[in-house]
Structure 1
C-alpha cells in the first residue's frame, strides 16, 4: 500500500544520530518509523505530531550528550536523570508529565516492533507542580461586591444570591439547586446536597445573608407560585440557571465597581481564604467547603488545624449571627 506523502510542514525529528550502526536499531531510524506510524496509521493531528516531535527531540538531545545512540542501551535510570535535568532547566510538572507520556508512546511502539524488551519510562513520574492559590477578593472587595443596593426583583435576588454564596462558600451548582425547605430559617442553617453521591452537609448562614434572604422572599413570591420550590428564580418564575447566575455576576462586577470580573467560584474561594485567615482552622474549612480530602483544602494554606458554628461566627466577616426576635 502506498504511504501518503509527508506534508511540507509535518514535524520531523532531526537525524542527529547515525543510522549506520550494525548492532541494534539506532534512534534516528526508530524515530523516523514512529512518525510515519503517527502520521499514516494513527493519523494524528499536525498539532499532536508537533508536540511529540518537540518532546522526543529533547530526549534525543539528552541521549546524544550521554552518547546513547541505540535503543538497547537505554535504562530507566537514564529517564530519571533526564527528568531531573529538564526540571532543573525550568520545565514544570505538567510539561514533564506530557514529555514522559510521549516517551512511553514511543517506547511502546518500539516494543511492538520488537526493538525493545520493556518500556523503560514505565513507573517514572514527574515532579508535582505546586498548587496555585485560586484568585480571591480581599475582605473589603468582597463586602463591596455583595452589598447590592436597590429594592426591585433583580436587585433583591442578586443581593441574597451573592451574600449566600459568600456567607456559606457555595458552589454554583449548589446555590442554583437550593430549595426553600433547604433553609432552617429559625437556626440560620442551610442544608446543601452536592456531588455524584448526593452527599449533604449543613452550613451556617451569616446574619447579613439571612437579612438579604428574608428581604428576598416577598419579592420572590410575587413572581412565582407555591408549586415552585426553587429558592432563586428568574422573573419568569422558574429556577434560575447556571449561566444566568454567571452573567449576573459579570454584570454586578461592573455595577459594583470591581477591578476584575467576579465569578461564583471566586466568591467561594474568597470565603475559604477569609475563614482560614481568621480562624486558622483547616478542618473547619474542609467541612464547610465539602471537600472529601483535606489536600484539596490545603491549596488555600498550610496552617495547622484544630469545630464549626462558634468558630464560623467569630471568623467570617459577614457572619455575626444574632437571634432574630421575629423567629
Structure 2
C-alpha cells in the first residue's frame, strides 16, 4: 500500500531539464521503447523524492544506500529497487559524459535480495481450454486470433498490440515479424491453428476497422487495441471459461516458452524465439521444466510413491 502511494506521489514530480535531456537522448540515440522510458521516468521521479531538494550532483554513495533502505521500508520489492538503481546509474553515466559530473554514486550499490519467483504458466490442458472454444461473435473471433498468435509465437504484449495489417504478418509463410526491445526485429513462426484463427479474423476485420486503419487488432470502434485492452479481454475470456487461475498476457508468453522447452529441450532456440538478448533471461524456464519433470517423477516412479 505504501509503495503504491509513493508511486502516485512520484508521478507528480516534474523532472529537471537534465533528466529530460537524458530521456530524450535515450529515445533518439538508443531508441529506447516508450515502456522503457516510462519506467525510467518513474525511477527518476523516485530519485528526486528521495533527494528531497538536494541537487543530484551532490549525492554520494551513502545517500543512495539510504534511499535504497527507504524504498525497501516503503514496501518496494528488490526487483523494482534494482530497476531504479539501474535508472539512476544510467543517468549518472550520462551526466558524467555530457555534463562534466565527476563521480557516479550509484556504482557498487546493490538492491536488497528477494526470493526468486518462477513465472506462472498454464498447463497444456489449460491453454487448450482457453483457446479451443469456438468464437460466438465478432470480438471473440478477434480475441481467439490474438491469443492463438500470442501463445503460438511467444510475443510480448507490446509486440502484439503494435502489429499492423501490412508488413509484419505473412500467413503464406506462417511467419510474423515484430519489433521488440531496443527496436530489434525478429521473425517467429506462426502455428497452423494461429494461422487459421488469423485468417478467420482477417475475413471479418473490415466490419470494425475503417479504411486506412493500419492496426491488425482493433477495438469495436475501429482504433488500435491497447495493451490494457488485450489484458482485459484475456482476463474476461479466462473467467468466462471457468479457468481457475488469473490469466494475464505475459502468462501466455511464459507458457509458450515453458511448453516449447519441455518438448524440445533446446534452450538456445527458445532464447531466439523469445528475443532475449541474454541466455540468463531464458534459463528461468529450465527451472520450470525441472519442476514439471519432478512432478512426473513423483507421480510415476515406484520408489517415489507413498
TM-score where L is the length of structure 2: 0.58
The corresponding residue for 2:140 is 155
Deviation at 1:235, TM superposition (A): 1.3
1:228 and 2:213 equivalent?
yes
1:200 and 2:203 equivalent?
no
Deviation at 1:130, TM superposition (A): 5.8
Larger radius of gyration: 1
1:242 and 2:227 equivalent?
yes
Change (3 A) 1:302 1:238: same
Counterpart among 287, 298, 311 of residue 272 in structure 2? 287
The corresponding residue for 2:121 is 136
Secondary structure of the structure 1 residue equivalent to 2:286: coil
Secondary structure of the structure 2 residue equivalent to 1:180: coil
Change (3 A) 1:131 1:297: farther
Secondary structure of the structure 2 residue equivalent to 1:300: helix
> Whole-Å Cα distance in 2 between the matches of residues 286 and 302 of structure 1?
15
Question: Aligned pair count?
Answer: 198
TM-score where L is the length of structure 1: 0.54
Question: Are the aligned partners of 1:272 and 1:285 in contact in 2 as well (CA < 8 Å)?
Answer: yes
Question: Are the aligned partners of 2:258 and 2:288 in contact in 1 as well (CA < 8 Å)?
Answer: no
Gaps of 5+ in 1: 1-37, 43-47, 56-92, 102-121, 305-327
The corresponding residue for 1:174 is 159
Deviation at 1:149, TM superposition (A): 2.2
CA RMSD of superposed structures (Å): 3.2
Deviation at 1:215, TM superposition (A): 0.5
Change (3 A) 1:298 1:130: farther
Counterpart among 195, 220, 238 of residue 253 in structure 1? 238
> Whole-Å Cα distance in 1 between the matches of residues 145 and 256 of structure 2?
16
> Whole-Å Cα distance in 1 between the matches of residues 280 and 273 of structure 2?
14
Deviation at 1:153, TM superposition (A): 1.0
Question: Are the aligned partners of 2:118 and 2:288 in contact in 1 as well (CA < 8 Å)?
Answer: no
Counterpart among 296, 302, 312 of residue 281 in structure 2? 296
Secondary structure of the structure 1 residue equivalent to 2:224: coil
Question: Are the aligned partners of 2:208 and 2:222 in contact in 1 as well (CA < 8 Å)?
Answer: yes
Matches within 5 A, 1:1-327: 94=78, 131-181=116-166, 182-195=168-181, 197-301=182-286
Once the two structures are superposed, residues 90-120 of structure 1 have per-residue CA deviations (whole angstroms, 9 ceiling, x without a partner) of xxx949x99xx9xxxxxxxxxxxxxxxxxxx
Q: Which protein is richer in helix relative to its size?
A: 2
